[in-house]
Chains A and B, each alone.
Chain A
Amino acid sequence: MPIRYQPADVDQTHAGWELLPIRFHRFDLSRVLLTNMVGEHLFVTGEDFDALMSGALPSDPQVRRDLAGKHLIRATGEDVPVELLAMKTRTRYRRLAEFTALHIFVATLRCEHTCQYCQVSRQSSANDRYDMSAETARRALEATFQSPSRAVKIEIQGGEPLLNFDLVRDIITEAQVMNVHHQKQLSFVIASNLALLDDTVLDFAAEHDVCFSTSLDGPADLHNTNRPRPGRDSWQRAIAGIGQVRDRLGPDRVSALMTTTAASLTRVRDIIDCYVEHDLRAIFLRPLSPYGFAARRARPTDDVAHWLAFYQEGLDYILELNAHGIPMVEHFAAIVLKKMLTNDDPGYVDLTSPAGIGIGALVYNYDGYVYASDEGRMLAEMGDTTFRLGNLHANTYTELMTSNALLEPLEMSFTHSAPMCSDCAFEPYCGADPVFHHATAGDFLARKPESAFCNRNMGIFELLLDRYHSDPQARQVFQRWANR
């Protein structure tokens, strides 16, 4: 059935043109940022903004064309911008109908590392009561294949999953058998510290097209301080493992992820240099973890300021490397830039609304409990089971996905109805993170001015927009990242 659109009353609009839904942010003393419903943006001068708000079009015809081109205004009654905004909106939300793409299996809590920032994996490597059973894994696979998503990634993690490699092997082979019927685009990742990597594992990975994700916190001294293990050789083993995977499986079959700690904050160049030196051409400059002892700090903004300084120095250094012909990507910026500069939404769990919990990822713990996110599982290991959706041995897939533990935080954190978010010019780039806010503020939404998540993201959005519009070389790099 067609939808009839009646323009607003004449006395609410302006002769010949009218505003489309926009949000604004006073960027600095001279510029106002305008964004439309799908995140297309335009900077205008304060004078032009004032003119627009008082019902007059800016005098510069180029500015008027830009305003129309970015779907911020339209000729009265013109349908094309409405149709285009609708199409772009539909594109942005297309992933919602295809949940859940990432399924995380916690094969064991055992680990031979005792990392200072890990709340979940300090079980003795000899204690197999923290291993996932074959029956639990089978039920997790049944849940996995009930997800509507056509693409399914199974990530097997721990603890250290290679300590329970027999189960890892069973999960992957059984998934491939089940997929003969389901015909999903199936992929596998083993998240491992690589310390226990051997030929048996590599042979299996080669045969079953398995990728590896590992931890690399930066230079040896920093990494080994963060990630103690017997022999104090975690870094050496990770680097050796990266080389082995590359030699055997190919250069793109291993990626590295860093965890930022307080000790990292003054070392961002060292960390990036370590990645470059070992030919890892993408890095994710991640925020400090809010989970654990630092969860309920009274003034998180101090931490945000330190982290933003770390991030800015790192981003500028990466841009410098690119300018010198060394291609390097910062992952978080690339995700945000895709949302800023294209109509696509990469579906990154922390930057979607509705939130990515459950919809973007499900976590099957070793003991059969199912969590809406890995951070939700970490909270449970610390005694807070808010994000526990149920148990594979007691609940059906439908019960898990319609549980209040999932639906309530999704509904309560939705940014289109959240105070401050609903008016925020950066909303199309941002997301809801009910797990973070529950951990730091005690509710799924939190007051945004007090939220480290909000302050940090606003800082990043401003930084990226500033570099994009002030530095032609950064603009080129950002366009490449956005269109990867």
Chain B
Amino acid sequence: MSVVECRFDASGYSIDAIQRAAYKFCDRFALEVTGDGQVFLCRLDFRSDVTDRSSIARSFKTEVLDQVLRERIRAETEGVRNVILAVAFSNAHLEPQ
């Protein structure tokens, strides 16, 4: 069986987080995602030479969680990151608040 399925609740996980996580495993499986608005169904289609599939599927689920955290960090720090880059590459300084 080269395909392993797993599900993610759409209220807690974004398709972006799932896709980013799957990219990290693209040397071991290809991902197909379908969603009904409530659940994302992921089909992990493994390369034929990959043997430890259930362990990799578990790592994938953990990675999806990490990608959710990265998504949160990006959203939370986007404003300050843009300001840092703007100050870095211009002659401007921060205006005291």
Give A contacts to B, CB under 8 Å. Answer: 1-8, 12-13, 18-24, 26, 37, 53, 77, 79, 82-83, 85-87, 89-90, 93, 301, 419-420, 423, 447-450
Contact = CB atoms under 8 A, between A and B. Distances in A.
Given A19-B73, A449-B28, 15 more contacts: A3-B90, A5-B79, A5-B83, A5-B95, A23-B70, A82-B84, A82-B87, A82-B94, A83-B93, A85-B84, A86-B83, A86-B84, A419-B23, A420-B24, A450-B27
A203 to B, nearest CB: 49
B7 interface: no
Question: Residue among B23, B25, B75 with the most chain A CB within 10 A?
Answer: B23
A8 B76 contact: yes
A7 B97 CA distance: 10
12 contacts: A2-B93, A4-B97, A8-B76, A8-B80, A23-B73, A24-B69, A26-B66, A85-B84, A87-B88, A93-B89, A420-B23, A449-B27
Contacts of B25: 449
Interface string B61-97: 0000011011011011111110111111110111111
Q: Which 4 A-B pairs have the closest CB atoms?
A: A2-B95, A86-B87, A89-B88, A449-B27
B20 interface: yes
B10 interface: no
B26 interface: yes
Interface of B: 20, 23-28, 66-67, 69-70, 72-73, 75-81, 83-90, 92-97
Nearest to B89: A90
A83 B84 CA distance: 7
Given A5-B83, A21-B84, A423-B70, A449 B76 contact: no
Given A2-B95, A3-B92, A5-B94, A89 B79 contact: no
A428 B86 CA distance: 18
Contacts of A37: 81, 84
Given A26-B66, A449-B27, A21 B88 contact: no
B64 to A, nearest CB: 13
Given A3-B94, A5-B97, A19 B76 contact: yes
Contact of B83 (A3, A22, A448): A3
A93 to B, nearest CB: 8
A93 B84 CA distance: 13
Contact of B76 (A4, A13, A26, A447): A13
A89 B75 contact: no
Nearest to B77: A21
B94 A18 contact: no
B83 to A, nearest CB: 5
A12 B80 contact: no
B39 to A, nearest CB: 24
B94 A423 contact: no
Given A447-B27, A449-B25, A4 B77 contact: no
A348 to B, nearest CB: 21
Nearest to B85: A89
B94 A21 contact: no
Given A7-B79, A449-B24, A449-B27, A77 B97 contact: yes
A160 B80 CA distance: 53
B94 A12 contact: no
A269 B79 CA distance: 50
Contacts of B96: 79
A20 B76 CA distance: 8
Contacts of B90: 3
Contacts of B76: 8, 12-13, 18-19
Contacts of B81: 21, 37
Contacts of B88: 85-87, 89-90, 93
A56 B57 CA distance: 30
A5 B67 CA distance: 27
A1 B86 CA distance: 11
A310 to B, nearest CB: 22
A306 B76 CA distance: 41
Given A3-B87, A86-B87, A423-B70, A447 B80 contact: no
Contacts of A420: 20, 23-24
B29 to A, nearest CB: 11
Contacts of B94: 2-3, 5, 79, 82-83
A449 B26 contact: yes
A3 B77 contact: no
Question: Residue among B23, B76, B81 with the most chain A CB within 10 A?
Answer: B76
Contacts of B23: 419-420, 447-449
B33 to A, nearest CB: 16
B79 A2 contact: no
A344 B27 CA distance: 34
Nearest to B72: A53
A447 B75 CA distance: 25
A54 to B, nearest CB: 10
